[in-house]
Structure 1
């Protein structure tokens, strides 16, 4: 995701913080038939596979097979043909999975006003179009608690793509979670500059371990940091899916997408004819089904797991991750005592909390 894309996402989220558009019921024409368009390979081990793994649950909701086409690039010339084919075949609920689908989905939704469109990580919305993303800072906070619990040194490493708000909030939450278990914990971050670059991810993870990190977290698309952690005999926490599949000895927690939990009720509403697309898109957390954790590995004690699961329940019950008093790493007050960050503040997060050391 480029900086330009993130800026657009920020602008959309700022508008979402003070919505003025009322939700209107949208009904598809005829019986709902769902189809999915995946950005990457459906077995990529990460983002796209998380949607593929949600598909069987969604098929149970719909009582029918849901066709999928994968490896569809983020350009109109690639997106439009498969979507149009699905619509021609009678599919009137189209689920997309990429930021770069945003503009094309908007145009298609206007061309096909009787078809429902949903798009993960998109920034466009309309009467029959809803974009959605998950509150990954919630699940990364819990993985940070795991990291703080299993670390012996208190030195944690984190391999990330770019210092952009959707990444920064995961890093900050990770550090706050780690501090919950070890007040002296620090998180050193290396940015690779790419969402999917196993070579750079390997180098970054190895460098962090060489500097003393004994737990490696991540916000990149491949399991490489977890694999390196296992090779080097340290622990790790994953992102997108349960990455213990790739590094069972190392991975003690993963921030995972739970799209079936979110999309299931959306499809139920479409079936019932009372779907109300969010005018500024949907931003589900653990409670609504955007994100959650696969936890915990064998290195996590029963006592620590109890604390982590209690924190998870507190999040579901409404406890915020970012609450004042809270200072950034330069000592500047970001949240006063009793204050909570709003969604606009999250999407503009260009700062790091105390304890985060960022390296390029």
Structure 2
């Protein structure tokens, strides 16, 4: 959680623009994002597939595809603008050691020809400078910390001898073995069933406390991060369109796109009726977007939405939303009926808590 001592961001993104060269054309994947991350917090970045979530976090760790580049803006970490890094040698100073990443497909992160214990131990030797028995004992402790039993035997086994959930635990152990300050979790539960998802999320929450991690969760599913995120940032078409504390986004959100994401939650469905889905498709990011990118899919869109991109409007000291509906002269618009009861129940629960 954010404390009084951690007011200064550990990571600060300022007006970031990221572009890709594709077949002689330019695609703007990130369109002027500014976002702060505070020490000890858990920040979730949510949005549909293609909204730019993974591109954003890959830029933080220097893993953009070869045809991608930072066109404008800054990423400050330890008072240094890491957006200016041009060579792999620079990124190796922070990748793993300072900022580590857990991906959604553990098999792409594990060497199928090497025992999992050796893979964890390599990270310990490289980043914690332990060797021999000390590195081995630390490896066994990490395996225990991520919920793997019979660690001496498991140390010698290969990735194919583990289930998907167990492999994800091993990938998490490797990331933590690097002793990072920031842990990025890019859709870490997507390939897992619901029961295992909950276990992995709880594990990450426990590890955050034990290892004093600052975490970033990337997901398209708001329900996944409901219990683990301190703050949420909602992305659409390469922009952050709303951010705030988890309770503010879940129970007092203001942007119609956030309303649409919440309406898509299975628990808000009505038995016998189709689940809600957002009509239309995201905009073409090869083209310049005029006005609010969500306007063509927004049933509450105003005329100005098609002409001018809205600024952020302040809802509270910690809550901001990028929608013209918050302008003092905008007509009063209520959230969808299915969300009103959800909001009221959430606020009541928060007050009782």
Q: Same fold (TM over 0.5)?
A: no
Q: Which has the higher strand share?
A: 2
- Larger relative contact order (Cα-Cα within 8 Å, sequence gap ≥ 6): 1
TM-score (norm 2): 0.28
Structure number with greater Rg is: 2
